[in-house]
Structure formats: C-alpha cells, structure tokens
Amino acid sequence: DCIARAAERDSAEALMQLSEQLIEKTHAPGDWPELLARELCRNTGCMLDAWAGEHGLRAETVSRGFGRMFGLTPAAFRAEARARNAFALITGSDLPLAQIAAADGFADQAHLTRSVHALTGSTPGAWRRSNPFKTERSASE
C-alpha cells in the first residue's frame, strides 16, 4: 500500500521504495524438484544418485517426489529433455545427425532417431526434409 500511495504522488519515489524492498530469492529446500528439472534440462547427463547426494536427499525420495510433481520419473523427464535438445539442433542446424546424437548423450544415431520419433511422430530425416524455411548455404560462403 505504501508503494501504491507513493506512486500516486511520485513514480520515482515509488520505484526507489520498491527497489529497496527487493531481495534475491533463494530456493527453499522444498524447491528441489524444480531445481532437478532445470538441471536435467541443462545437463542431460545428470545422474540422479549424485544429484540427490549433493542436495542431502536419498535417490528414492527424489524419484518419488519428482514423479508426484511432474507426473513422470526423472529418467523419463531426462529422456524427453534430451530428445527436445536434439530436436532443436536437428531443425535449427545442419550438423550431422550422428554428431547431434553424440553431443546429446545418445548411444548412437538410431537411439536419437527413436527418441525424436517418439517425441514428434517423425524421424529426424523427415524433419530436415520437411523444413522449407531452411536455406542452402550459398557457394560463395
């Protein structure tokens, strides 16, 4: 209310009062499912046992709690994150599929193909062929 009243008089004063009250939010211990989800998206090679140990939790607790929060296991979440990362590279770059597979932690190109197909309903090659907005690099480059 104080900031709202100040804003009616002087917006600069209200902004100063608001900025004085801002504090950096730290994650509470109960926010670990969100922290794990971010880590699994960022690092698809993240190992659940190691992550749980670093955060003072048991792997079984993490697996059950994550499942209740997101509706799938951390392993399934990680697999989908890996497929999404690969799909972004498939549609947004011209890197060879085998290179994308290796970079995203797939066992091989066939593993990548199965995962992307399960996620999108089409194979990586089909996505590349159907992507009309991609242009060929000119011969002068």
Tell me how far apart the alpha carbons of residues 14 and 120 are, in angstroms, rounded to a whole number: 49
| Residue 139: band (very low, low, confident or very high) from pLDDT cuts 50, 70, 90 | very low
**Predicted TM-score of the model (pTM):** 0.67
Residue predicted with more confidence, 120 or 18:
120
Mean pLDDT calculated for residue range 46-52: 91
pLDDT in tens, 85-98: 999 999 888 899 99
**Looking at residue 135, what is its pLDDT?**
45
Tell me how far apart the alpha carbons of residues 140 and 90 are, in angstroms, rounded to a whole number: 24
Torsion of CA 87, 93, 94, 95, to 10 degrees: -70
Q: Residues for the chain: how many in total?
A: 141
Residue 96 corresponds to which amino acid? P
Tell me how far apart the alpha carbons of residues 124 and 28 are, in angstroms, rounded to a whole number: 40
The rounded mean pLDDT for the chain is 84
